[in-house]
Amino acid sequence: MLLRLIRLFTLIVTFVCISSATFAISLGELQNSPQFWRERHDSSSDIYLDLNSIQNTLYNPPKYTLKFKVYTVDKKENIIADGEIIADYDYNKSIEGIIKRNNLSKMPYTSEKVKSTVKKAKLKDSGIVNSLKVSAIYNLNGKEIYSGNPIKTAENIKVDATSSAYILSVKAFKQYYKVTF
């Protein structure tokens, strides 16, 4: 009986050690798993959103905050940066909020007046503020290059409505809330 408990304990410790060491990610995993959504693809970099990492940290309508992981693949440096974004959303500045505030709810979304009003408002203020911390850097095969104290690369930055950060944040919001931001 004692021998079985020791074996079970050893197995559990081994499993915990192996699973805690497997947070590294490779380019192949990012490209081939439906868990990762690729936002941008160009000759120098790709950005992936981990769809399974999206967490709600504040639900206080019209204010929302989500936390989620992103991976940036730098093709020139041959590295993958593992980051965490905290995105603050002001739903008053969502598409639905803009339409409601401008009394355009009876008009179709496809009308020029609605499109123009939403575009101007979104370019002025997208309603999203992001902070980003990089927690690890890997080579393209998943070998760890850096892991330690997270590095703050952006803090409370208003997100431009034409940027990759906006697209990632909206995708995360839509995954969690299933509404139009």
pLDDT band at residue 102 under the 50/70/90 scheme:
very high
Q: Is 1 part of any domain?
A: no
Domain that holds residue 144: 23-90+129-174
pLDDT band at residue 109 under the 50/70/90 scheme:
confident
Residue range 133-154: mean pLDDT, rounded: 90
Cis peptide, bond prior to residue 61, ω within 30 of zero: no
CB-based burial label for 108 (10 Å; 0-12, 13-18, 19+): exposed
Structure tokens at 126: 């997208």
Q: Is 168 part of any domain?
A: yes
Q: Is 35 part of any domain?
A: yes
Q: Is 75 part of any domain?
A: yes
pLDDT band at residue 23 under the 50/70/90 scheme:
low
Q: Helix, strand, or coil here: 132?
A: strand
Q: Is 69 part of any domain?
A: yes
Q: Is 67 part of any domain?
A: yes
* Confidence (pTM): 0.81
Alpha helices, H only, the chain? 2-20, 27-32, 95-101, 112-124, 164-177
Q: Is 3 part of any domain?
A: no
Q: Mean pLDDT across the chain, nearest whole number?
A: 86
d(CA 73, CA 30): 9
Residue 115 reports pLDDT greater than 50: yes
Number of domains making up the chain: 1
Q: Is 85 part of any domain?
A: yes
